[in-house]
Amino acid sequence: GAVVSQHPSRVICKSGTSVKIECRSLDFQATTMFWYRQFPKQSLMLMATSNEGSKATYEQGVEKDKFLINHASLTLSTLTVTSAHPEDSSFYICSAAGTSGRQETQYFGPGTRLLVL
Amino acid sequence: EDQVTQSPEALRLQEGESSSLNCSYTVSGLRGLFWYRQDPGKGPEFLFTLYSAGEEKEKERLKATLTKKESFLHITAPKPEDSATYLCAGTQGGSEKLVFGKGTKLTVNP
């Protein structure tokens, strides 16, 4: 299947700092990428849909100014958590829409564990 | 409201003991039904996409089926390495957004 990478895999930061997470589709072009967050023992919650060359679409309740998304190319989307606070600590996962054989799906990255102290 | 409900929440099997996981959905205009496997601390791994009632897909010990109201993930003669959380998700026609269920945590004991 297709490969999606995320960097960093784990980050620890102080409260008030900003953190950037990169999501790359390594072997296919992704016009659409998605950002999710996942709390312990819970399922994935969609935060926003990122479209190449246009503004991201945020889900209800997700602060646009806090979670900045940039999709500058067909293989790269970034999520910046601005002025991070302890409640932003979570597992952030990106995905890219692609096709495996004739199956449409989303391919997920390995996730980024964010801990805000 | 579109919903995807998975059952059971957790399932413990002995190695070789076959079983099924259930995913029921109320996604209007369902376009695709997806199954993923997620290991702790990792992103979901794609397993199957099903598009229409009656469709079946297989991969090793796993077989996914779809009816008009639900999907099943059948696990035949599971091994300990099949232990993971299995996630079901649906998409609506015209949208690529996945609506996820809460998952079934499968534990296979040797």
Per-residue pLDDT tens, chain A, 117 aa: give them. Answer: 678 999 999 999 999 999 999 999 988 788 889 999 999 888 899 999 988 888 899 999 999 999 999 988 888 999 999 999 999 999 999 999 876 555 677 899 999 999 999
In eight-state DSSP terms, residue A59 is P
- The nearest CA of chain A is from the CA of B49 a distance in Å of 6
B22 touches chain A (CB under 8 A): no
pLDDT tens-digit series, residues B62-78: 999 999 889 999 999 99
Tokens 């004991």, residue located: B109
**By CB neighbour count within 10 A (0-12 exposed, 13-18 middle, 19+ buried), where does A110 fall?**
middle
* Spatial separation of the C-alpha atoms in residues A4 and A12, rounded to whole Å: 22
What is residue B97's three-state secondary structure? coil
For chain A, helix (H) and strand (E) counts, in that order, are 0, 11
pLDDT at B1 over 70: no
Q: Which residues of chain B have a CB within 8 Å of the CB of A32?
A: 96
